[in-house]
A and B are shown apart, each in its own frame.
Chain A
């Protein structure tokens, strides 16, 4: 049971890192971004490529992956997302889905379709008294908490963060103050892509890396963002950990049902509190 809780925390941490970007993009730009997890996939693949082909250590490979994915995120924002401001949701959906298709196909083109495993960079376990647990996973949980508090600080203390949060609430008002919100939206998008890539890098040693890994996680992230409230960063944080815990605990007793439960929870939340977009 303790193990299930710790495992749930790990999943929650990863889900949180990936969902922030989705929540930010939706809250600021009203774009449901299907292409979001392409940076997650790209991050994981570049990590593997740099560790295997270039032979550099895991953590430097991870840094490189996150930077390249942020660059990819910037390109996506510049070329596609920026044209979608103010469009109806259907078209943003379809356009970002198209970006997803293109991205997956490029990944398949470069790296092939077969899953690639990568080993845990620390590889040791910690004795926590009640059980033993890989240090790596504890590190993942700590990193997610760090990101959460970092984001809180970023929002509270810096001007950019304040403008982004204000735009989450009321975009027109911010624009009326004479602030060009598009620039800040681009920053929010790149930060989101960067964190998603970080999620991909951290999750790569826990699972296998394959071209469609993004789609699978994306569905879970949609559930997280919808349950937590779109554009609500603290809601996203709590929803990610609650749903991660749900996956892990249900998965312990009924392995097949672990993901159904997530979508059931999402449908229940939406049914009780429909979001009018």
Chain B
């Protein structure tokens, strides 16, 4: 009897320590973290194929950027796809008119999304709650209309725009394997960037703004500036995802900034667990699996998506990762009480 107890204790301990290691990160663990993340995506390749996994990774970058805004700063936006669209169109257009170097085009795409974020952000961050979400939604809609009709001559309107000049010295974006490697590397870079940002004092400030903005302002911080900065960073990372989308499909159409698709990224963040970078990645993978694989077997996937969103809101606020964390924590507490009991027991 005693033997099984100790065995369970060890099992609990390893389980809990893995959990703690993943939750709490320090210098060296970041490297391990990146290896694990890359490994997960490499493991997905044999099951889903390179094309799909590349898609998944791009969506995960987007989900990460949204998580910075929603999960960490607590500002729900219903128009974050605008920056994906801006990044994608800027990349495609600069490859057509300005340069023949895809890397430079990606850079230009990020810069364009960053500028758009600066402009829209300066108006949006003044609002809170529902107004913030709706203002962003309005901006997104305006962007969609601009692409669809007034700028039709440049953007191709509904027909979309095919991306040229995908090849530059060693960088061959026509090769799926290279594309996959490049996107995976970008995901890791974005993840690392956001990990460093969110675990820095700046990240703590963001979480404080989420908890109670008035108190943070009372401490002497200019919260508008920090909110604006976060908005711009999130927009830039989303623009990065957009640029990669353009290069991945070699084609851009207005669907990249369709307002309706914003629900997807919100769902991804929530199901994975908002406010946790792993949650965003996990949610991104799950959402992509649902939307990519489920329609093949089950036509009514939107119904399923709606019902699971309701379930998350009413029952599982923390999402999958959040619930795993509480499970770890409970196990750790369990293990600690066990040990204290053992210590307290007279021998």
User: Which residues from chain A contact B129 at a C-beta distance below 8 Å?
Assistant: 89-90, 277
Whether A101 and B303, one on each chain, are in contact in the complex, defined by CB atoms closer than 8 angstroms, is: yes
Whether A271 and B123, one on each chain, are in contact in the complex, defined by CB atoms closer than 8 angstroms, is: yes
**B141 sits at the interface (CB 8 A):** yes
User: Which residues from chain B contact A223 at a C-beta distance below 8 Å?
Assistant: 138
Whether A219 and B141, one on each chain, are in contact in the complex, defined by CB atoms closer than 8 angstroms, is: yes
**B314 sits at the interface (CB 8 A):** yes
Binding stretch for chain B, among A157-165, A194-202, A255-263: A255-263
Find residues 253-272 in chain B having any chain A CB closer than 8 Å to their own CB. Answer: 259-260, 263, 266, 270
Whether B310 and A95, one on each chain, are in contact in the complex, defined by CB atoms closer than 8 angstroms, is: yes
Whether B138 and A93, one on each chain, are in contact in the complex, defined by CB atoms closer than 8 angstroms, is: no
User: Which residues from chain B contact A276 at a C-beta distance below 8 Å?
Assistant: 128
What's the Cα separation between A277 and B141 when bound, in Å? 23
**A253 sits at the interface (CB 8 A):** no
What's the Cα separation between A89 and B133 when bound, in Å? 10
Find residues 44-103 in chain A having any chain B CB closer than 8 Å to their own CB. Answer: 80, 83, 89-91, 93-95, 97-102
What's the Cα separation between A219 and B130 when bound, in Å? 13
Q: Which of B70, B123, B134, B259 has the most CB of A within 10 A?
A: B134
User: Which residues from chain A contact B137 at a C-beta distance below 8 Å?
Assistant: 219, 222
Whether B310 and A106, one on each chain, are in contact in the complex, defined by CB atoms closer than 8 angstroms, is: no
Question: Considering only CB atoms, which chain A residue lies closest to B310 in the complex?
Answer: A98
User: Which residues from chain B contact A101 at a C-beta distance below 8 Å?
Assistant: 263, 302-303, 305-306, 309
Whether A270 and B135, one on each chain, are in contact in the complex, defined by CB atoms closer than 8 angstroms, is: yes
**A32 sits at the interface (CB 8 A):** yes
Known contacts A90-B76, A257-B150, A267-B139: A222-B126 contact under CB 8 Å: no
Known contacts A101-B306, A106-B303: A93-B260 contact under CB 8 Å: no
What's the Cα separation between A94 and B133 when bound, in Å? 11
Whether B302 and A104, one on each chain, are in contact in the complex, defined by CB atoms closer than 8 angstroms, is: yes
Interface string of B126-164 (1 = CB under 8 A from A): 111111011101110110011011100000000000000
Known contacts A94-B313, A271-B123: A105-B150 contact under CB 8 Å: no
Known contacts A219-B259, A256-B145, A257-B150: A95-B127 contact under CB 8 Å: no
User: Which residues from chain B contact A104 at a C-beta distance below 8 Å?
Assistant: 302
User: Would you give the shortest CB distance from B119 to chain A, in whole angstroms?
Assistant: 11
User: Which residues from chain A contact B130 at a C-beta distance below 8 Å?
Assistant: 26, 32, 89, 93, 277
What's the Cα separation between A267 and B134 when bound, in Å? 9
Chief secondary structure at chain B's binding surface: helix
User: Which residues from chain B contact A271 at a C-beta distance below 8 Å?
Assistant: 123, 126
**A243 sits at the interface (CB 8 A):** no
Whether B142 and A256, one on each chain, are in contact in the complex, defined by CB atoms closer than 8 angstroms, is: no
Whether B142 and A277, one on each chain, are in contact in the complex, defined by CB atoms closer than 8 angstroms, is: no
Which of B127, B134, B142 touches A222 (beta carbons < 8 Å)?
B134
User: Which residues from chain A contact B76 at a C-beta distance below 8 Å?
Assistant: 89-90, 93-94
What's the Cα separation between A83 and B145 when bound, in Å? 36
User: Which residues from chain A contact B74 at a C-beta distance below 8 Å?
Assistant: 90
User: Would you give the shortest CB distance from B203 to chain A, in whole angstroms?
Assistant: 20
**B23 sits at the interface (CB 8 A):** no
**A266 sits at the interface (CB 8 A):** yes
Q: How many residues of B contact A (CB 8 A)?
A: 41
Whether B306 and A267, one on each chain, are in contact in the complex, defined by CB atoms closer than 8 angstroms, is: no
**B307 sits at the interface (CB 8 A):** yes
Interface string of A211-252 (1 = CB under 8 A from B): 010010001001100100000000000000000000000000
What's the Cα separation between A83 and B311 when bound, in Å? 12
**B300 sits at the interface (CB 8 A):** yes
Whether A264 and B306, one on each chain, are in contact in the complex, defined by CB atoms closer than 8 angstroms, is: no
Question: Considering only CB atoms, which chain B residue lies closest to A255 in the complex?
Answer: B149
Which of B150, B259, B306 touches A98 (beta carbons < 8 Å)?
B306
User: Would you give the shortest CB distance from A95 to chain B, in whole angstroms?
Assistant: 5
Whether A264 and B142, one on each chain, are in contact in the complex, defined by CB atoms closer than 8 angstroms, is: yes
Whether A259 and B300, one on each chain, are in contact in the complex, defined by CB atoms closer than 8 angstroms, is: no
User: Which residues from chain B contact A267 at a C-beta distance below 8 Å?
Assistant: 123, 135, 138-139
User: Which residues from chain A contact B138 at a C-beta distance below 8 Å?
Assistant: 219, 222-223, 263, 266-267
User: Would you give the shortest CB distance from B118 to chain A, in whole angstroms?
Assistant: 16
What's the Cα separation between A253 and B11 when bound, in Å? 72
**A274 sits at the interface (CB 8 A):** yes
Which of A109, A256, A263, A274 touches B131 (beta carbons < 8 Å)?
A274
Question: Considering only CB atoms, which chain A residue lies closest to B301 in the complex?
Answer: A105
Question: Considering only CB atoms, which chain A residue lies closest to B304 in the complex?
Answer: A105
Question: Considering only CB atoms, which chain B residue lies closest to A101 in the complex?
Answer: B306
Whether B310 and A105, one on each chain, are in contact in the complex, defined by CB atoms closer than 8 angstroms, is: no
Find residues 93-148 in chain A having any chain B CB closer than 8 Å to their own CB. Answer: 93-95, 97-102, 104-106, 108-109
Find residues 83-102 in chain B having any chain A CB closer than 8 Å to their own CB. Answer: none
Whether B131 and A260, one on each chain, are in contact in the complex, defined by CB atoms closer than 8 angstroms, is: no
**A275 sits at the interface (CB 8 A):** yes
Known contacts A98-B310, A109-B300: A226-B134 contact under CB 8 Å: yes
User: Which residues from chain B contact A219 at a C-beta distance below 8 Å?
Assistant: 137-138, 141, 259
User: Which residues from chain A contact B317 at a C-beta distance below 8 Å?
Assistant: 91
Whether B131 and A215, one on each chain, are in contact in the complex, defined by CB atoms closer than 8 angstroms, is: no
Find residues 17-60 in chain A having any chain B CB closer than 8 Å to their own CB. Answer: 26, 32
Whether B303 and A102, one on each chain, are in contact in the complex, defined by CB atoms closer than 8 angstroms, is: yes
What's the Cα separation between A266 and B133 when bound, in Å? 13
Chain A interfacial positions (CB closer than 8 Å to B): 26, 32, 80, 83, 89-91, 93-95, 97-102, 104-106, 108-109, 212, 215, 219, 222-223, 226, 255-257, 259-260, 263-264, 266-267, 270-271, 274-277
Q: Could you name 9 residue pairs across A and B whose Cβ atoms are closer than 8 Å?
A: A32-B134, A90-B70, A90-B74, A94-B76, A97-B309, A98-B307, A99-B310, A101-B303, A277-B131
6 new A-B contacts at CB < 8 Å, known A97-B266, A274-B131: A98-B309, A101-B309, A102-B306, A222-B134, A257-B150, A271-B123
